[in-house]
Amino acid sequence: MLGSMLGSMTCLHRAVSLTVPLAVLVLSGCVDAGPAVEEELPTRFDAAERLIAIGDLHGDLEAARTALRLGGAIDAEDRWIGGNLVVVQTGDILDRGDEEEAVIRLFQRLGDEAERAGGAVHVLNGNHELMNAYRDYRYVTPGGFADFADAAVVDSTDSLLAALEPGQRARAAAFAPGGPLARLLAERNTAVIVGSSLFVHGGILPEHVDLGLDSMNAEIRAWLRAEAPQPEWIRGSRSPVWNRLYSDQPDVAACDTLSSVLERVGAERMVVGHSVQRTGITSFCGGRVWVVDVGMATHYGGRPAVLEIRDNRVRSLR
């Protein structure tokens, strides 16, 4: 089925992406999953006149649409109206919900539309994206497995896939390093700096600065493309996608560490997701860190909110 679809598919109309499996779009070139040889993917970007940051979405398409509309990125038909607006989504599109594929498609399309209009969309990898790549499926819903049932050809000789239920194997193959959707994740950064703001899912620590943000991003992308081993530092409480040092009522020592990191990378603030803030977008450490995970997905029952940075001034939109 995959081969015949690839042979006959056209990308002239984006409507195709509403009905054709995402992995087929990746393999056919309708969705860019990166070149065979890595090209440089910048970590730093120029300051934006206006930027919005969106936290964890966890497979909730309506939450994604609501947040994007709240931030002035899309209209009622999900078309880009943001002009030169920059959107940063801080990771965790995957898991806990049943509409992951639709959310991925939406951000892929909007990235193209934004670029043509002079804007940009940066979707980061969070811990749940990387969990799917290293085969941790604890938070995948039954609908999440069903949604990717045709996402990849399953290798019958893979003992790790064989150990899964049949309905789980295609998703696992698609997100495993080298798989079509892992290659899509490999076209994302894990941390970016836009203007004077550093964005990451969990938090950047001094050891990540020692490694270098460019190197950190490149190591994760190489692993997702199955070109290098999994970096040891992507798991555990000090991982840039798992760290909660700055987002869980940080103490003075944590704020001092944050200040040191920001000074070293040349940023004024860090924007993170990962830790649900039940009262809405929250800042700590005198406004040097902003936490944008408000539990907006249905799984958490929260209300959408986005962070706006306009002319380097920060506020929450609800």
Q: pLDDT per residue over 254-269, tens digit each?
A: 999 999 999 999 999 9
d(CA 306, CA 68): 8
Q: pLDDT per residue over 34-49, tens digit each?
A: 444 456 799 999 999 9
Give the rounded percent of residues in the chain with a pLDDT score beyond 90.
86
Beta bridge partner(s), residue 317:
306
Task: Give the Å distances, CA to CA, from 25 to 9, 107, 181, 245, 272.
Answer: 9, 14, 10, 38, 30
d(CA 242, CA 41): 23
d(CA 223, CA 195): 28
Tokens of 230: 């999994």
Task: Give the Å distances, CA to CA, from 63 to 79, 181, 190, 191.
Answer: 16, 22, 22, 23
Report domain extents, the chain. Answer: 1-31, 44-136+177-317
Non-local CB neighbours of 145 within 8 Å, separated by 6+ positions: 165, 167, 168, 171
Catalytic site residues?
128
Tens digit of pLDDT per residue, the chain (318 long)?
A: 333 333 333 343 343 344 456 665 654 555 555 444 456 799 999 999 999 999 999 999 999 999 999 999 999 999 999 999 999 999 999 999 999 999 999 999 999 999 999 999 999 999 999 999 999 999 999 999 999 999 999 998 999 999 999 999 999 999 999 999 999 999 999 999 999 999 999 999 999 999 999 999 999 999 999 999 999 999 999 999 999 999 999 999 999 999 999 999 999 999 999 999 999 999 999 999 999 999 999 999 878 999 999 999 999 999
Q: N- to C-terminal Cα distance for the chain?
A: 44
Q: pLDDT per residue over 167-191, tens digit each?
A: 999 999 999 999 999 999 999 999 9
Instruction: Give the CATH H-level superfamily of domain 44-136+177-317.
Output: Metallo-dependent phosphatases (3.60.21.10)
Tell me the pTM. Answer: 0.90
